[in-house]
Amino acid sequence: MAGLPADLLFEGARLATMAGPGLGVVEDGVLAVRDGRIVYAGTRDTAPAFEAAHRVPCDGLWITPGLVDCHTHLVFAGDRSEEFARRLAGESYAEIARGGGGIASTVRATRAADEATLLALGLKRLDALLAEGVTTIEVKSGYGLDEETERRQLRVARALGAHRAVAVRTTYLGAHAVPPGGDRAAYLDLVCDRMIPALAAEGLADAVDVFQEGIAFSAQECTRVFSAARAAGLPVKSHAEQLSDSGGAALAARFGALSADHLEYCSAEGAAAMAQAGTVAVLLPGAFLMLNEARKPPIASFRAAGVRLAVATDLNPGSSPIASLRVSATLACVLFGMTVEEAWRGMTINAAHALGLQDRVGSLEPGKRADLAIWSVDHLAQVVAQIGPSPLQARCHGGVLA
């Protein structure tokens, strides 16, 4: 009897499906792909017979869901390494920002860069992520802070997905900073009344983000941005409680945010509100490391409240110039006390939740896109326990193996 048709059949692999709680480990697993989707992922014993166009003997290699980097700012121009040196000499991140450096510095460089330049810069950073098994990324705008440059950043972000085998979600972060020399109230009008409805209509943004912080936007201002996003039918996210507790997590939760990110200063009430709303806690240990912060996100409160934990790079030129999701996971374990299992779920299924993509990616389950990372390791802990050469053997996006 002929078997079920498959385009690709991985045999003799060890799977970490991330389906259900834990890693969902399957020893001696089989994974079948047809038309870009997973049609079977499970034990060999229980697998139906497949008639496969290509069989891939895995000989004990590990297959995990392709990694999801759910928080990046990777489309930008310019370099801020000199700020790194200034911080080492004693200036704080907030002082540098108030003095016209920080985000404003990247805004100047990004405005001056044309689309081709931004694309080339973005591809270089993206390639570093792909080399470690990433198959989905989120990219935020927020380094233009004017209509033209914000759109250019979002168009370039979309274009990344046409140039590489990766899925891209775009997020409009107009409320990142008040543009240099700009008027605060007029800028918020532009963001809320013009940009958000227009970007939603143009399909250029999949979500809206804010930077709620003393050096950025207040709770009241973020409320207005969130209201405009919801009115335009876009889900929201928040850079919340990174440098102080301004109630950003609870506010984001009130708007049903997909995620609240950073959260070093998040209160127990904030964690409870996130749990209730299903808002994912996205931890960004790269920013914590590079800013040499002391206050850690309240992981124990998140666990106790049942908040999903994700990990992302926050890849940006200032606070987190780190183009490695794997190193970010390592840091989340060492600096924040996440377990290896939490780090893995945080780079896969929970990161998918943070983008609202949990029905499409993030786990090895029938019906999901065949986004896979194939690892030459003995144990999955090796992927996060070592900083250095990537143990990735191959990557598969939408059923295309590379």
| Residue 72 within binding range of ligand DI6, rule CB under 6 A | no
Phi, psi of 392 (to 5 degrees): -70, 130
| Residue 171 within binding range of ligand DI6, rule CB under 6 A | no
- Dihedral angle sign, alpha carbons of residues 213, 218, 219, 221: negative
| Residue 103 within binding range of ligand DI6, rule CB under 6 A | yes
Residue 136: name its binding partner from Fe ion, ligand DI6, none (Cβ under 5 to 8 Å by kind).
Answer: none
Query: Which residues share a beta bridge with 311?
Result: 283
Pairing of strands 207-211, 67-69: unpaired
CA neighbor of 311 nearest in space, from 287, 274, 334, 285: 285
Size of the site for ligand DI6 (CB under 6 A): 16
Report the phi/psi class of residue 87: left, alpha or beta, with left for phi > 0 and alpha for psi in -120 to 50.
alpha
| Residue 314 within binding range of ligand DI6, rule CB under 6 A | yes
Min dist CB 173 to ligand DI6, Å, is 7
Min dist CB 22 to ligand DI6, Å, is 30
Give the pair of three-digit tokens for residue 169.
């979600």
| Residue 238 within binding range of ligand DI6, rule CB under 6 A | no
| Residue 236 within binding range of ligand DI6, rule CB under 6 A | no
Residue 318: name its binding partner from ligand DI6, Fe ion, none (Cβ under 5 to 8 Å by kind).
Answer: ligand DI6
What is the full DSSP assignment across 91-108? --HHHHHHTT-THHHHHH
Min dist CB 177 to ligand DI6, Å, is 8
| Residue 293 within binding range of ligand DI6, rule CB under 6 A | no
Pick one of 211, 288, 336, 344: the residue that binds ligand DI6 (CB under 6 A): 211
Pick one of 136, 212, 259, 316: the residue that binds ligand DI6 (CB under 6 A): 316
C-alpha dist (Å) from residue 286 to 71, 297, 331, 335: 11, 13, 7, 10
Min dist CB 320 to ligand DI6, Å, is 6
Q: Alpha-carbon dihedral of residues 345, 162, 144, 169, nearest 10 degrees?
A: -30
Binding site for Fe ion (CB under 5 A): 314
In 333-382, the DSSP E strands lie at 372-375
* Site of interaction with ligand DI6 (CB under 6 A): 73, 102-103, 106, 176, 211, 239, 242, 284, 287, 314, 316-320
